[in-house]
Structure 1
């Protein structure tokens, strides 16, 4: 079992272990809750909702609970779904003592967290991740929604009361979700004070599933913990956590079917090309192929450039998180250099 404490403006525990749901009984806000509001998606509901409800009713037999289920996928991280949840919550009697349980992957954590941050001007929520990718999204307090113009353009910084990470839920993940979470873990391995990405570069999909997940998830979260505790609201170094994301988000949003982490993998290749690290870019490209990532239909540079301009850390210029001599910086990149990196990325990935 692994227990971390994230020391932000509102400190909270992270429990990583099989059976982590038992720690719900230790969360102060849960102890005084008038009800639990479980927000999940249809996939997680079918697989695991019964398990969560069993824990809730066993630990808090006198506390009411209710469930809201949304469609899986990024399309639910929308203003429309958000508004539906607000109306449902108010109609069903949510109060400031209600605790939201965000039960699912990154989309659910972002959506349910933003509902918690805004309904009745803020109620407690607890992250209960069910994906490998959520080792990144469940920690740090970023919650929000997408717009048609781009990802995560509406949101807030709102810390959970706890993160309960039961790694046994990961056993039911499809291959795409394993890949998606893996590339966020790899990103943390590149950002770590003592980088560990090299230990992941040669893995196959079957190898990934055999990793001692509890310790590797803790490694990834510890990297994010170190950065978030220094810069909770992304005024400085927290932007480094967007490594691989500027181009990755653009590719994700311009593609019909691509998991977030897969897009980050492509974004990391692009970032390595900007850094002039062609050998590392090729290693990443080989890893994408070995893990079975299917590249989306390639769009023109102009399409991706338009999405990159909408990235929250950009104003008139395009800024990228890049490494130089082991140190990360946020650097303005001229259009010509971006175009060159795009052409090199296309050739590296053999991206038709």
Structure 2
């Protein structure tokens, strides 16, 4: 069993262990709830909903409301958000109802935003089912996408707990393993001392054989350290976007590409922005070993326009970059971005 105590405006515990849902009995908000409102997607529901409901029955004699959405990033939309809110009303959710976000990063973002805004806010608990969600389930950033870009609507709203049952990861597809791994790699690069060196040498079989509880805890601990310094993203929390500015742009115009795979491409790009050619080549080699299928490449201008809409940018485009072992936000001009794009295309052999 592994526990991390997140010291945010609403302190909470991250439990990382098999059958973690049973830890609900230790969460005050769950004890006080009149019922639980499970928000999940259809894929996760088919795999894990029966297990979660059985564990809830073991802990509490409380009604369970269930809202299912389509899997995939398209469900992080205003239309789906409205439908889930209305579904909660129709099923009888109240201000004493606790939302359970059962799924990956998309569900955590959507269900968290529902909880933050339903009846002006109800408690919610993250129950991650993917490796990728080790990043998204901690830190309290919840929200939706608009047609202009990712995460343009959102809030800071901390969960009451994170219950991470690592046995749920056994059902992940190769794409989901890759997706979560690239976020873990990002945390490894951000860590001081870094733990990315060994990760950069793995293949897909090696990723699946990682000691999951320890690896997830190591990734979360990096995010914990940063979030506890800057919960509202006024400074160093932006460092968690390392590799994401270009990655988000690629993800947004690449249906079928997972978030983490896009971040992997983004890590190549930012390495070239930094002039870190060795890191860029190592990440490219990793992308190929893990079997990432590159998306259809768009013109530089398409990605540039999307990067300009990134929520951390103002008049200029700012990137999280590493300089002499330290991270900083740096304005990057268009010529430099174009050069990094051309280098990324060549190094990835991205036709």
TM-score of the pair, normalised by structure 2: 0.99
Aligned residue number for residue 3 of structure 1: 3
Aligned residue number for residue 50 of structure 2: 50
1:9, distance to aligned residue in structure 2 (A) = 0.5
Offset from partner CA, 1:281-313 (integer Å, 9 cap, x none): 011001000000000000000000000000000
Aligned residue number for residue 188 of structure 2: 189
Q: Secondary structure at 2:245's aligned position in 1?
A: helix
Aligned residue number for residue 153 of structure 2: 154
Aligned residue number for residue 301 of structure 1: 300
Q: Secondary structure at 1:40's aligned position in 2?
A: strand
Q: Secondary structure at 1:39's aligned position in 2?
A: strand
**Are 2:271 and 1:272 aligned?**
yes
Offset from partner CA, 1:226-262 (integer Å, 9 cap, x none): 0000000100000000000000000000112200000
RMSD: 0.5
**Are 2:335 and 1:339 aligned?**
no
Q: Secondary structure at 1:312's aligned position in 2?
A: coil
Inter-partner Cα distance in structure 1 for 2:282 and 2:208: 20
1:316, distance to aligned residue in structure 2 (A) = 1.1
Q: Secondary structure at 2:295's aligned position in 1?
A: coil
1:96, distance to aligned residue in structure 2 (A) = 1.0
Inter-partner Cα distance in structure 2 for 1:269 and 1:331: 17
Inter-partner Cα distance in structure 1 for 2:255 and 2:59: 42
Inter-partner Cα distance in structure 1 for 2:184 and 2:87: 35
Offset from partner CA, 1:164-213 (integer Å, 9 cap, x none): 00000000000000000000000000000210000101101011101100
1:280, distance to aligned residue in structure 2 (A) = 1.0
Q: How does 1:138-287 map to 2 (within 5 A)?
A: 138-287=137-286
Q: Secondary structure at 1:256's aligned position in 2?
A: coil
Q: How does 1:33-112 map to 2 (within 5 A)?
A: 33-61=33-61, 63-112=62-111
Inter-partner Cα distance in structure 2 for 1:164 and 1:319: 34
Inter-partner Cα distance in structure 1 for 2:68 and 2:290: 31
Q: Secondary structure at 2:163's aligned position in 1?
A: strand
1:57, distance to aligned residue in structure 2 (A) = 1.1
Unpaired segments of 5 or more residues in structure 2?
none
Q: Secondary structure at 2:38's aligned position in 1?
A: strand
Aligned residue number for residue 26 of structure 2: 26
Inter-partner Cα distance in structure 2 for 1:57 and 1:81: 28
Extract structure 1 runs of 4+ deviating beyond 2 A: none
Inter-partner Cα distance in structure 2 for 1:256 and 1:166: 29
Inter-partner Cα distance in structure 2 for 1:275 and 1:344: 12
Inter-partner Cα distance in structure 1 for 2:19 and 2:60: 16
Inter-partner Cα distance in structure 1 for 2:67 and 2:92: 13
Offset from partner CA, 1:38-95 (integer Å, 9 cap, x none): 000000000010000001111102x111111000000000000000011111122211
Inter-partner Cα distance in structure 2 for 1:136 and 1:315: 25
Q: How does 1:104-143 map to 2 (within 5 A)?
A: 104-143=103-142
Total equivalences in the alignment: 351
Q: Secondary structure at 1:226's aligned position in 2?
A: helix
Inter-partner Cα distance in structure 1 for 2:2 and 2:103: 20
Inter-partner Cα distance in structure 2 for 1:162 and 1:196: 26
1:339, distance to aligned residue in structure 2 (A) = 0.3
TM-score of the pair, normalised by structure 1: 0.99
Inter-partner Cα distance in structure 2 for 1:178 and 1:336: 35
Inter-partner Cα distance in structure 2 for 1:231 and 1:217: 21
